[in-house]
Structure 1
Amino acid sequence: MRKRMAAGNWKMNKTATEARALIEELKPLVANTDVDVVFCVPFISIIPAVQAVAGTGISIGAQNMYFEENGAYTGEIAPNMLTDAGVKHVIIGHSERRQYFGETDEDVNKKVLKAYEHGITPIICCGESLVQREQGITIDWIRQQVKIAFQEVTPQLAKLAVIAYEPIWAIGTGKVATTEQAEEVCRKIRECIEEIYDVSVAEEIRILYGGSVSGANAAELFSMPDIDGGLVGGASLKADFAKIVNS
């Protein structure tokens, strides 16, 4: 049985002081859950966030990392810097990284492989634009993203990965894919993983849905057989995130 996950992507929000305050507010609200709870906070907030969740079941993740160990890469962060700070998860290939910073599928694959080298669990993002959905190429597009992301990843490591399906047209827009749309794509992702590896890997890997998830729609989304939780944006910045966790 796959363990459910509620991961918050805080994006470029909250100072370190504000991050600690929000975590302190959320801790008692998510204390009695059997869901994996992850807060992916801005780099500057990682260390105070790790300190704030000490002794709880909450994990702290990063929103990005580079695929080199060190060097002249101004503005980037290395995987060993994240692990030294206490990071357990990293979001890789978010649509905003692809759109605003030009990340490619090949970049995503390099980052995934580097995350595994350092024992960091990758949360690998995939998703289509509204134009791509209207053109009827959603599944083809996402299969390509998934297949390239998992190149050279062994079956044993693949089982540890988390995949987040986020339709780009639903991120921060208030629009949500219908439960049926979300489940269809997540099921196709699982089928793609089965093609790359086998049934056992496909059954173990966790697939999240992201895109305007809220306390109001979380329970219905997470009741689907191929949706194992959510990668949550704006709603993770409020105490209401607890409603999503407890859904």
Structure 2
Amino acid sequence: MTGRVAIVTGGGSGIGGAVVARLAADGYKVAVVDLPGEAGQAAADAAGGIFIGADLSQRDQCHRVVETTLAQFGQVDVLVNNAGYQHIDALEQFPEDRWEHMLAVMLTAPFLLMRYAWPSMKERGWGRVINIGSIHSLRASPFKIGYISAKHGLLGMTRTAALEGGPHGITVNLIAPAYVRTPLVEKQIADQARTRGIPEDEVIEKVMLEPAAIKRLIEPAEVADLVAFLCTETAGTMSGSVFEMSLGWTAR
């Protein structure tokens, strides 16, 4: 048992669900954060952790997530910022309120959660912040203006926080996967098919995997394996880094 405590946002399914299961198997006490509902509670129950239902677009609820974790476990050692969503909109059709909400969940919330968890990590002289970015933290694509803006911003925040955390034993890194087999990606396939007017199988083959050297989707457990590694002592020299899981996308 590690005796360490992890907060995982978006922990009810997909990448977050796989991370929760992996960290729990490695001995972490896990606070599973997701929108109120059965999925997050089930993930927490399976992991022997706690579930915190929260809307991370709200500042006070981000603060409540960390305070609840501290009240339950007494510390926060690992923060995995994974919560988010995908939506396909052309620039001229992207509503202002959706832009604001997307950036609140995918960029402002990671900042707030890190800020609130930082004192616990600093006090103990050890911490791991792992931001789940995307290959779109490094590359752009059409019809994803909000998503890509948030993911690019998350990379800049990762690098800055790494510089501030280094003297205190806190590492901050970003994982940048290509398309992962999650409910969000399955929805995106349908949205892309509708936007582009092509069948869903062509979206996978001709849009998602066309730039990739390895022609398959990534499994959530593969991302969770990398998260688990970045939480180890062995990874203590790695901070401010981007860990690509790009299927060869960026090799061109």
TM-score normalised by structure 2 residue count: 0.38
TM-score normalised by structure 1 residue count: 0.38
